[in-house]
Structure 1
């Protein structure tokens, strides 16, 4: 992070000096020096991270994370297949594939689509603004509502507990315990 920040400041000042002939508040506030500094900050931080990771990788295999003992007594909500090595490897591959593709689209393809237009006409500008706003609303909706939808059973159980109602799991456990007790009593009666 420090290396990327230092390179970004150097780039910001050099571009401002090269364009205006001096470093002032006005020259530093122009679009081109700011854009150059921000791009260098983002790209150089990523490159520094990758190079450092390849030169001196950490010797950690994440097996110890799988050995961490769960503190929850009730693990009925945990699906063992979600923690299998095969599932996690497939999930990692999916995230890497789509993450790289999305990054290429957003960092390279999206800006390149605006280059042939040169100076935007009002209609072209309106299209870009509409796409950006629509993208923001869709992303916001997914970020907010998808986790809520995926956790709906937990929310229902919490609200039922707050209202003093028993959750479905508690009812199932109670019925299972009653059936076990009845079976034990029947077995004891039969033996005597």
Structure 2
């Protein structure tokens, strides 16, 4: 982090000096020196990290991290399937596939679509603004409503509990208990 910051400051000052011939508050506030400094900060920090990791690897054993005992192992209300390695591996693969695809579309393809237009006309600019606003509303809707939809059973159970009704889990447990009782009674009757 320190190396990237130092390189970013050097780049910021050098670009301001090269473009304007002097280093002042005004020249440092221009877009190009700021952009150059920020890009160098981001890229150099990553490169420094990779190079240091390759030169002097730590060889950490991640299995020991999995052996750490939880102080409070309360998993009530969670599906045991959510902790299976197969489920987690499939979820990771899905996130990596779609996350990478979405990143490529948003960081590379989407900006490239604006290159052929050159300088935006007022109509073209309006279209891009409309698309950005529409995208924001769609993202907001997904961020707000998807968790609510995924937790609908919990909301229904809480609502039913507030009204004094039995929750769906209690009803399922009652039906399961009745079926078990019927099966036991049928078994006892056939044995006698």
- For normalisation by structure 1, the TM-score amounts to 0.70
Which runs of 5 or more structure 1 residues have no equivalent in the other structure? none
Query: Structure 1 residues 137-146 or 110-119, which shifts more?
Result: 110-119
CA gap 1:128/1:26 in 2 versus in 1, 3 angstroms: same
SS of equivalent residue, structure 1 residue 59: coil
Larger mean Cα displacement after TM superposition, 14-23 or 137-146: 14-23
Q: Once the 2 structures are TM-superposed, how far is the Cα of residue 153 of structure 1 from its aligned partner?
A: 1.0
RMSD of equivalent CA atoms: 4.1
Change (3 A) 1:109 1:186: closer
Q: CA deviation at 1:86?
A: 2.5
1:98-138 C-alpha deviation (Å, 9 max, x unpaired): 22232233233333333333322112212221222222222
Judge which range, 56-65 or 113-122, deviates more. 56-65
Q: Give the gaps of 5 or more residues in structure 2.
A: none
Question: How has the CA–CA distance of structure 1 residues 190 and 103 changed in structure 2, closer, same or farther, with 3 Å as cutoff?
Answer: closer
Pairwise CA distance, 1:37: 2.8
Q: Quote the Cα distance in structure 2 between the aligned partners of 1:94 and 1:42.
A: 27
In structure 2, C-alpha distance between the alignment counterparts of 1:146 and 1:50, rounded to whole Å: 37
Change over 3 Å in CA distance of 1:59–1:78 after alignment to 2 = farther
Following the alignment from structure 2 to structure 1, what is the Cα–Cα distance between the partners of residues 152 and 96? 28
Query: What is the Cα deviation at residue 6 of structure 1?
Result: 3.7
**Aligned counterparts of 1:191 and 1:90: Cα–Cα separation in 2:** 47
| Structure-2 separation of matches of 1:110 and 1:139 | 16
Deviations 1:127-164 (A, max 9, x none): 22122222222222212211111111112222333444
Inter-CA distance 90–11: structure 2 relative to 1 (3 Å threshold): farther
Equivalent residue of 1:9, what SS? helix
Shifted more, 55-64 versus 121-130: the winner is 55-64
Aligned mates of 1:191, 1:74 — CA distance in 2: 42
**Which TM-score applies when normalising by structure 2?**
0.70
Q: How far is the alpha carbon of 1:50 from its aligned partner?
A: 4.6
- Cα offset, 1:187, TM superposition: 9.7
3-state SS of 2:61 partner: coil
The change in CA–CA distance for 1:179 and 1:103 in structure 2 (over 3 A counts) is closer
Other-structure match for 1:121: 121
